[in-house]
Structure 1
Amino acid sequence: MKKIFLLTLFPVLMLSCRDAKKTNEPKKTVQIVQPEIHKELYGFWVGNFYTTDELEYEGDMIDALKKLSINIKKITKDTVIAQSVVSGNSRPLLGKLSDDGGKITFVLNEPGTEKYDGKFEITLVGDTLTGKWNAYKKELKWPEKEFKLLKKKFEYNADLMLPSESNYVDWSDHKMVKRVDTLEDGTIDSLEANPFYRSASEQIFKLNASTTVLKEDDIKNLRKLDLQIIKNTIFARHGYAFKKQTFRNFFDPVEWYVPVKNNVDDDLTPIENKNIKLLDRFTKYAEDNYDAFGR
């Protein structure tokens, strides 16, 4: 009789232990994935990033006018994930979209961990994102800027070239040169030193280092700035965000240029890698052509 009782009790104990284990197991949380909205806004928005005082400012405007790219990656009811690229700096953006009867606005915040971080306040007006950026650090030279951005598809195109109607003068790099004049009586008059700037030749419009394997004869007589521009045009085609002022001045105004990321090494083609090595080798020994230019 005892054996029968124990055999009957054993399954009951097993079930009790199993139930106890179930109650001790941590409860699984169910995450609700919010649906994505306004996917038509995804992608790159590109345009000028400028100060409100641009027209009144009498100093050097090099730091005042730049190209801004905002890449909108994801939008839900509560969150917008994006990325800003300007002056070679790529920063994550996190914020929120508001849709008030068809009027779409954004507030997007950079992390605040770097000197030039700030907040974007954006309104969609027709096909344009327009708005203001305010730096967290108000002591910056330009703590407030405005922007107007148009949606632009970025894609690599090896045939893209700098527009030939522009003159490429490096306004960020100059040397002072004293002019010496000989007067009619034979005396030498030393005039005030003037700034001389380095400039590029027309070869930058003819040599494409993304489509053609360059030879030494192609580049051996080029100026240093020529070699640098030909090389950096490769990077610009891949959407490289230039940090150096010289190349921002050259590429930011170009219509096809879209700054996308800080490193494009993995995107370079075998032809481009080969040409970059050759260009770097000749750049070490090349000289620049300096001349006086009016601004």
Structure 2
Amino acid sequence: MKKIVLLALIIASFFSCQRNIKNEKDNVIAEHIDFDIPKINANKVVNDKADLLGYWVGEFDVNEKAADTSYKYDDDYSKKITFSIDKIEGTKIIGHSVVGGNIEKFEGKLINYTDDFEIHVKEPNSKTSNGKFVLNIAKNDSILKGDWVPYTKSNKVLQRKLSLKKKFFVYNPKNKIMFNYFDSEKFNVIKDTFYEEDSLGNTISSEAYEDQAYFTTTDTIFHLNPSTELFNKELVENLSKGDIFILRNLIFARHGFSFRDKMLRRYFDNIEWYMPVFSDVTKELTDIEKKNIDLLLRYEENAKEYYDVFGR
């Protein structure tokens, strides 16, 4: 029977000497954008313009009806977005969006109709990847819907549709992950040979074959908590690279860090409690989390690389 081998890949360190979170590909943190923390209104149902203040979270999906059929959809077809309404001054609305590891300010106007509110805001037009939002919410409703339209059309920047619900960010060190991380883009080709034997154990024939071994985690990640348990070297030295990678980034996810790495975004975006809110959370880390991050980083490079399907 073919052996299925799971390859754990070395992931670049996430910290500089100032403990800044680094991106796997370009080794820089997301551009830091200063913004006003919204004076969050606790009402999830909107009847007054003050009820709009706060974080609105949901899917940032490609709008297929508006997309040119010649466009080539990238792997970021769907992302999670946090649309933050920070201030409302008369008819002027000010805020910022957090999506794909990027934070962009926006401002525009709020129209107060008899039965609904309409929001028209624009991001800075200095970037070709930016655009404008047109959103609407009926009064006595809790879902903000609409579109984002890019300033420049291309096969990588597509018009998006949004359906958002108001959420409140709360750091919870006990937030859990419920499924394994699997990176289909990181693999190695494993060469092996299949041997057919007779009843006496003699080889009748052999056939060379190739398998793909992927970067993944084991079920160990479901039983460890890097935010509340102080890890020791005996524990960490037996973890796979994938386990270390996710346990380390779980700490940042709990603090609302907006990941730039596509596969990390895809993994955490599918977790209900996760909210991308901040570009840098290093000042929010607890003492236990800082110590665990340091320990995990020391062992990540030399962690075991190969695991079979059972994680042995």
Q: Which amino acid aligns with 1:82?
A: G
Q: Which amino acid aligns with 1:39?
A: A
Higher mean C-alpha deviation, range 37-46 or range 182-191:
182-191
The equivalent residue for 1:120 is 133
Aligned counterparts, 1:67-106, within 5 A: 67-106=80-119
SS at structure 2 position matched to 1:53: coil
The equivalent residue for 1:229 is 246
The equivalent residue for 1:205 is 222
TM superposition shift of 1:63: 1.2
Q: Structure 2 stretches of 5 or more lacking a match? A: 1-47, 198-202
The equivalent residue for 1:43 is 54
Aligned counterparts, 1:173-212, within 5 A: 173-178=186-191, 180-182=193-195, 186-191=204-209, 193-212=210-229
Q: Which amino acid aligns with 1:253?
A: N
**Counterpart selection for 2:280 from 258, 263, 267:** 263
Higher mean C-alpha deviation, range 257-266 or range 283-292:
283-292
Matching of residue 145 in structure 1 with residue 145 in structure 2 = no
Cα pair 2:129 2:157 within 8 Å, conserved: no
TM superposition shift of 1:290: 6.6
- The share of aligned pairs that are identical, in percent, is 34
Higher mean C-alpha deviation, range 237-246 or range 69-78:
69-78
Matching of residue 131 in structure 1 with residue 146 in structure 2 = yes
TM-score, normalising length: structure 2: 0.74
Judging by fraction of residues, say which structure has more helix.
1
The equivalent residue for 1:107 is 120
C-alpha distance 286-91 of structure 1, shift in aligned 2 (>3 A): same
Alignment deviations for residues 39-82 of structure 1 (CA, whole Å, 9 cap, x no partner): 1111111111111339x99x886310110111111112231111
**Counterpart selection for 2:300 from 278, 283, 286:** 283
C-alpha distance 290-79 of structure 1, shift in aligned 2 (>3 A): farther
**Counterpart selection for 1:62 from 75, 81, 95:** 75
Alignment deviations for residues 135-190 of structure 1 (CA, whole Å, 9 cap, x no partner): 11201424211111110000111111212xx2321223222345543467855434
Cα pair 1:158 1:211 within 8 Å, conserved: yes
- Distance of 2:280 and 2:156 partners within structure 1: 28
- Distance of 2:308 and 2:127 partners within structure 1: 38
- Distance of 2:98 and 2:308 partners within structure 1: 33
TM superposition shift of 1:285: 1.0
Cα pair 1:92 1:111 within 8 Å, conserved: yes
- Distance of 1:228 and 1:52 partners within structure 2: 33
Q: Which amino acid aligns with 2:129?
A: Y
Q: Structure 1 stretches of 5 or more lacking a match? A: 1-36
The equivalent residue for 2:232 is 215
Greater RCO (Cα-Cα under 8 Å, separation 6 or more): 2
